[in-house]
Structure 1
Amino acid sequence: MKKDYSKLTLKDYFVVSSMLFALFFGAGNLIFPLHLGQMAGHNWLLATGGFLVTGVLLPLLSVLAVAVTKSKGVYDVGLPLGAGFALAFMVLIHATIGPLFGTPRTATVSYTVGVAPLLPAGWQTWGLVVFSALFFAAAFALSYRQNKIVENLGKLLNPTFLVLLFVVFFVAFLHPMGKLSLAKATTAYVNAPFINGFLEGYNTMDALAGLAFGVTVVTAIRMMKKNESVSVTTTKAGVFSMAAMGLIYLLLVMVGVMSLGKFKLSADGGIAFSQIVNGYAGTAGQAFLAVLMTLTCLTTAVGLVAAFAQDFHEHFPQLSYHTWLFLNCFVSFLTANLGLQQIIAWSVPMLMFLYPLSMVLIVLSVTSPLFNRDGRVYFAVVLFTVVPAFFDMVVSFPAVVSQSAFGQAVAAFRLHYLPLSALGLSWVVPALVGFALGVVWHVAKRRQTSRQYQVNLEKE
């Protein structure tokens, strides 16, 4: 049978873009922008600008990093620093966005925000057990056949989710709960709205997910068997899907700000979303939210478990793709039942450590043609980034770590010696210093090689 190697049509690009959007847009992408709007109040525009840097620009750059370096995933992005670093980085990324934090959160958030308010108080614990078991069984089934992931996400689940989400927007903007200009900002967002919005974007985990999803996206595009560059297709689809995500973030933030006209600042975005839909439609609104949350969380869970299984099968082939898939779903099910607050409390420190490393590797990958992907530049930047990132992680841990003698010593050292540490950005200046030193090292080595080449020519 003759294979179809024609170019991708506009419809094909739409499906790939829809798949990318579905992979990225999950639990945190709904609740964190809403909560950001409530915290930022009338300073919502500056806060949204910061959030879009880490919530949209960085994920887009992570997609471009995979395209520019022709990588298959997170392992290849770290490879200029050696196979050992690349493997360790891959395992840390997948553990964080996988069975330890990110993937369990997809089930726990959809249950806590959507389903739990519909159940009697005595059913909450067993309700989570049953819901998370069914949730990860569905994620396993939808990601079982790798060649069906594009179809399952891009053609089915994501379009349904978007229709439901825009119903929420239509109602919220047709009957606003309050005025954007009158909403009160919290202290943090009065003083530094952009920086706090920037840090809030960490919670989406999308910059990390973008690196991990590389293998899923590349595999899916190749299975379409079209005569089109994988890197070009990934780039075009990435730009389109991230633009759509940016627009939705903006609308969610505005809905969060307007909700302050009727409700007080919520403890988290999940509570805020539940209050908003209940305010408009009561129990029917809560049921609507349950469907909406489950759909968006399920699409992300499919991408996360598939990417985990694909990468781990490639680097640890003793176990099949399906075995890794099952193990990830099972461990994620167990972790999900620890509860949302525990998952978030312990995930934040890991994000404070991994996000700076991921950000510098993404930027280095995108700019790598300028210095021939020289491992020296990578080494200098990562070396100067990893220590302050570790300090940021320590002070972000729950009190059992951050308030210990070690934690307090790290906090004092960090505040005294590292610029921007009070803002949670102590890694920025060292990373820039590392980049400057790395480029100087690269240029010096290139000149040395050139001189040696000239000497050898003269000898001949």
Structure 2
Amino acid sequence: MQNISFKSFIIVSLTLFSMFFGAGNFIFPPSLGFQAGVNTSVAIIAFCLTAVLFPILGIAAVAKSNGLQNLASRVSYKFALVFIIAMLLIIGPLFAMPRAANMPYELAIKPFLGEFTSFLPLFIYSVVYFIINWALSINSTKMVDMLGKFLTPLLLLLIVVLVLAAIINPMHTGEFAAASGEWANHAVSKGVVEGYQTMDALAALNFGLVVLITFRKLGVNDEKSIVKYTILSGFVAGFILMTIYIALSYVGASIGASGLISEVNPNGATILSAATNALFGRFGIVILGVSVFLACLTTTVGLTCAISEYFVSITKIPYKTWIIIVSVFASIVANLGLSAIISYAVPFLFIIYPIALCLIVLSLLDDIVNGDRFTYVLTVGVVFVISLVRTFDTQFDINFPIVTELFKTYLPFYDGGFEWVIPAVVCAVIGSIRASTKR
């Protein structure tokens, strides 16, 4: 086993945290707390399974596989191509980028519009935002690195101040409000599924190779040492993320019990804006909004560059054309509004997230599976079919004759969104037994 200095380890851990922590991570814990109410503590722990634990395991899985392309290609080259493109579109111009762009608008502009509900302010804002995004993406590295180093500590400081203010001067009296909807009886399963929305497990599949390269630059070449330090640094980053999520869920639960928000199902940005206004007034909203705007910009610029560079590698279209395409498409989607974007992302995440989680687990168990293609194809294929059928059923009310009813009747945890788990385990076990007999 090779060793690195404690200072280098901490630097990598904090870098990993900053890669995960974007302004979009602000919105889901407050929303969870607002809706889960008295069940917030249980729900946020469940949320952290898919929003913290699996992203960290994803980093280790990709490091162990020496890159996402290698990992996904264990199913097939064509699968890897389709999976990576779908994942980049989801964490890019389809959902994550327009969601991030909407955050500062919802936080710091919409509250000042009052009853003015025209589409025009959001349209103008989204166009201006993505023009800036395009301009920075042309030559982004130095500016984004500088902004990122400055803004991550600033955002953390703002979160600490907001949470401390909410603890010292609670917005509610007595207990948290009663849980609403599914949060009342299915807080655990709802929390786990809500963790999909951070999209961090998908992002982790892209970050793993970066961490791998970082440790190699520090002189660590032994594979076991790389995996060990990746997991350890992941736990440090994950602990910070979990602490932030728990703190923000408390803010959401507190304002949910205060009665200051009359809206039945507000998004996380609305909740944060209302909490900031209650604790610091409208000046606090402006400060938070400006900081989040800059943080979102570094996130969307980084995604624009990474996605464009990937598409350059598989097409003949030049980089500068791709950043225009990505920015324009994200700008169009941004006009749907934050709540709509969050809602529209759910069906896609219900399909791609189980596949990503399976790839992560199979990679970590690859010493048992022995890289057996049959195991990867069987497990991923079954999970894809089951997730697809359940998503069409629950999200679009579209049933496949006989198949849907069989799944609903015989697959455990169908209602909670984990209908794929037991079949995935069975397929992995079958594949492992088959792989062991071939050795």
Q: Which moved more, 1:307-316 or 1:272-281?
A: 307-316
Question: What SS does structure 1 have at the residue aligned with 2:392?
Answer: helix
Counterparts of 1:281 and 1:410 in 2: how far apart (Å)?
54
What is the TM-score of this pair, normalised by structure 1? 0.84
Asked whether the equivalents of residues 44 and 253 of structure 1 are also in contact (C-alpha less than 8 Å), the reply is: yes
Structure 1: which amino acid aligns with 2:386?
P
Counterparts of 1:205 and 1:41 in 2: how far apart (Å)?
24
Q: Once the 2 structures are TM-superposed, how far is the Cα of residue 154 of structure 1 from its aligned partner? A: 4.5
Q: Are 2:203 and 1:209 equivalent residues in the alignment?
A: yes
Percent identity of paired positions between Structure 1 and Structure 2: 33
- Corresponding residue for residue 271 of structure 1: 270
The 1:419–1:146 alpha-carbon spacing in structure 2 relative to 1, beyond 3 Å, is same
- Corresponding residue for residue 414 of structure 2: 421
In our comparison, the structure showing a higher alpha carbon Rg is 1
Alignment of 1:230-269 (within 5 A): 231=226, 234-263=230-259, 266-269=265-268
Q: Once the 2 structures are TM-superposed, how far is the Cα of residue 268 of structure 1 from its aligned partner? A: 2.4
Counterparts of 2:135 and 2:394 in 1: how far apart (Å)?
36
Asked whether the equivalents of residues 33 and 269 of structure 1 are also in contact (C-alpha less than 8 Å), the reply is: yes
Q: Are 2:298 and 1:302 equivalent residues in the alignment?
A: no
Q: Are 2:304 and 1:312 equivalent residues in the alignment?
A: no
Counterparts of 1:116 and 1:283 in 2: how far apart (Å)?
12
Alignment of 1:346-365 (within 5 A): 346-365=344-363
The 1:111–1:412 alpha-carbon spacing in structure 2 relative to 1, beyond 3 Å, is farther
- Corresponding residue for residue 393 of structure 1: 391
Give the alignment partner of residue 180 of structure 2, picking from 175, 182, 186: 186
How many aligned positions are there? 430
> Gaps (5+ residues) in structure 2?
none
- Corresponding residue for residue 433 of structure 1: 426
Give the alignment partner of residue 370 of structure 2, picking from 364, 369, 372: 372
Q: Which moved more, 1:57-66 or 1:116-125?
A: 116-125
Question: What SS does structure 1 have at the residue aligned with 2:371?
Answer: coil
Asked whether the equivalents of residues 68 and 365 of structure 1 are also in contact (C-alpha less than 8 Å), the reply is: yes
What is the TM-score of this pair, normalised by structure 2? 0.88
The 1:13–1:296 alpha-carbon spacing in structure 2 relative to 1, beyond 3 Å, is farther
Question: What SS does structure 1 have at the residue aligned with 2:119?
Answer: helix
Counterparts of 1:199 and 1:180 in 2: how far apart (Å)?
29
- Corresponding residue for residue 443 of structure 1: 436
Counterparts of 1:77 and 1:440 in 2: how far apart (Å)?
21
Q: Which moved more, 1:408-417 or 1:199-208?
A: 408-417
Over aligned residue pairs, what C-alpha RMSD do you find? 2.9
Q: Are 2:117 and 1:118 equivalent residues in the alignment?
A: no
Counterparts of 2:120 and 2:17 in 1: how far apart (Å)?
32
Q: Once the 2 structures are TM-superposed, how far is the Cα of residue 276 of structure 1 from its aligned partner? A: 0.9
**Residues 372-397 of structure 1, C-alpha deviations (whole Å, 9 max, x = no match):** 22222211211221111101321343
The 1:122–1:272 alpha-carbon spacing in structure 2 relative to 1, beyond 3 Å, is closer
- Corresponding residue for residue 280 of structure 2: 281
Q: Once the 2 structures are TM-superposed, how far is the Cα of residue 179 of structure 1 from its aligned partner? A: 5.7
Asked whether the equivalents of residues 23 and 100 of structure 2 are also in contact (C-alpha less than 8 Å), the reply is: yes
The 1:82–1:66 alpha-carbon spacing in structure 2 relative to 1, beyond 3 Å, is same
Counterparts of 1:407 and 1:121 in 2: how far apart (Å)?
44
- Corresponding residue for residue 456 of structure 1: none
The 1:36–1:367 alpha-carbon spacing in structure 2 relative to 1, beyond 3 Å, is same
**Residues 205-262 of structure 1, C-alpha deviations (whole Å, 9 max, x = no match):** 111111134456567x49x955445946655543322221111001111122222331
Question: What SS does structure 2 have at the residue aligned with 1:362?
Answer: helix
Structure 1: which amino acid aligns with 2:275?
I
Question: What SS does structure 2 have at the residue aligned with 1:338?
Answer: coil
> Gaps (5+ residues) in structure 1?
1-6, 447-460
Q: State the structure with bigger RCO (CA 8 A, min sep 6), 1 or 2.
A: 2
Q: Which moved more, 1:251-260 or 1:237-246?
A: 237-246
The 1:147–1:122 alpha-carbon spacing in structure 2 relative to 1, beyond 3 Å, is closer
Give the alignment partner of residue 53 of structure 2, picking from 48, 54, 57: 57
Give the alignment partner of residue 200 of structure 1, picking from 194, 199, 205: 194
Q: Once the 2 structures are TM-superposed, how far is the Cα of residue 195 of structure 1 from its aligned partner? A: 1.4
Structure 2: which amino acid aligns with 1:103?
M
Give the alignment partner of residue 47 of structure 1, picking from 20, 36, 43: 43
- Corresponding residue for residue 457 of structure 1: none
Counterparts of 2:384 and 2:184 in 1: how far apart (Å)?
31
Counterparts of 2:212 and 2:92 in 1: how far apart (Å)?
19
Structure 2: which amino acid aligns with 1:115?
I
